[in-house]
Amino acid sequence: MVREERFQISSVARLTGLSVHTIRAWEKRYNVISPARTETGRRLYGRDDIRKLTTLKKLVDEGNPIGLLVGLSADQLESRTTSPGRGLIGPVARVSRKCSVLVVGEALRGLFHAHDPELEDLDPVAHFGSLNSVPRPPVSRPVDLLVVDTPTLFTETIQAVADLLRECGARRALLVYGFGQRETLRQLLSKPEITAIRGPLRATDLRLAALAEIESARASEDQTSLLPSDSGATVPAIPPRRYSREQLAKLSRISSTVQCECPQHLCKLLSDLTAFEQYSLECENRSLEDSRIHAFLHVSTARARALLEEALSRVLESEGISV
């Protein structure tokens, strides 16, 4: 039996024209390929993986959003590159409109000032040399994406990016960094709206990463719209708890004066929701997509818990029960 030839990720990057960062991001976020791994965890790719990645890059370069391509087989993808007009958006079109971007960082400023055609889909509405030099408010109208380049990554950097993200009205931030400790990077698991990528980036890498973030934000808008949104907030606020675990336990033992057990049932539901709310906040995240799902679950559960707390308050008021 002939053993299939395997390639390391650096070789795949050279063969496909994709950066190592982009290959890893597509693998984690969209599961476009599932490479084998050595005993030490090193990725090994086959020729089918390279074929699929090469085709995906060609389609994305033509303007097809990666989020709409991931469900297609390798043959289906190739049929869209060989058949005129079969592209999801079209063989010539790139994006329906330019994406407005707030740019922070000298390296990124240089990329945009070079007028590289790879960045023609991105409209830099403002440039600032560093996070400390950004005025308040940073822009006069909301932007699609915040892109920040920083040589070093610290906890304070992440918080500054999160604050700027809220102020500029973007749904996502792309954080390009030079050096950062692993523990600092783990803090980003609790901030799914920020994606960190090791720099430096080429114009091609920046475009792909930026459009992937914007496409991800647009794809999640339907889910986010299911939750009541707070004006001006990027992430829906978590309503404070009205009842502690001790109060719920006490209320569940109080006999109702009417012929029903609504207080007890509501207390049980609230106890379960509160437990799951905390679980979704602390649940281990294996990837960025995991963290986004858990963040959505956390917000959804908190909203449901707030509605049931209001229902319990009305029941307690009608029965004259005080906590």
pLDDT, one tens digit per residue, over 271-316 is: 888 888 777 766 645 455 556 676 777 778 888 888 888 888 888 8
For tokens 């459009």, what's the residue? 211
Burial of 270 (0-12, 13-18, 19+ CB in 10 A): buried
Q: Which CATH class is domain 9-82?
A: mainly alpha
**Which residues, given as ranges, of the chain have pLDDT below 50?**
1-2, 83-95, 222-235, 256-258, 284, 286
* Calpha distance 312→247 (Å, rounded): 12
Dist CA 207 CA 290 (whole Å): 24
Contact 29, 287 (CB under 8 A): yes
Q: Please check whether the two domains, 9-82 and 99-219, share a CATH topology.
A: no
> How far is the C-alpha of 155 from the C-alpha of 175, rounded, in Å?
13
DSSP secondary-structure letter at 279? H
Q: Looking at residue 129, what is its pLDDT? A: 93
- Whether the CB-CB separation of 49 and 15 falls below 8 Å is answered with no
Q: What is the pLDDT at residue 311?
A: 84
Distance CA 214, CA 205 (A): 14
The predicted pLDDT at position 237 comes to 57
Q: Would you state the pLDDT for residue 222? A: 42
Q: For residue 66, which of 208, 196, 223 has the smallest C-alpha distance?
A: 208
Of 239, 174, 246, the residue nearest 211 (C-alpha): 174
Kindly tell me the sign of the dihedral angle through the C-alpha atoms of 271, 272, 274, 275.
positive
Tokens 């698991």 belong to which residue?
Answer: 189
Q: Does domain 99-219 have CATH number 3.20.20.70?
A: no
pTM of the model: 0.46
Residue ranges of the alpha helices (H) in 70-168? 74-82, 106-113, 155-168
The dihedrals phi and psi of 164, each to the nearest 5 degrees, come to: -65, -35
**How far from chain centre, in Å, is Cα 155?**
19
Structural domain boundaries in the chain: 9-82, 99-219, 245-319
Pair type for strands 122-128 and 99-104: parallel
Between CA 268 and CA 240 the distance in angstroms is 19
What distance, in Å, lies between the first and last C-alpha atoms of the chain?
74
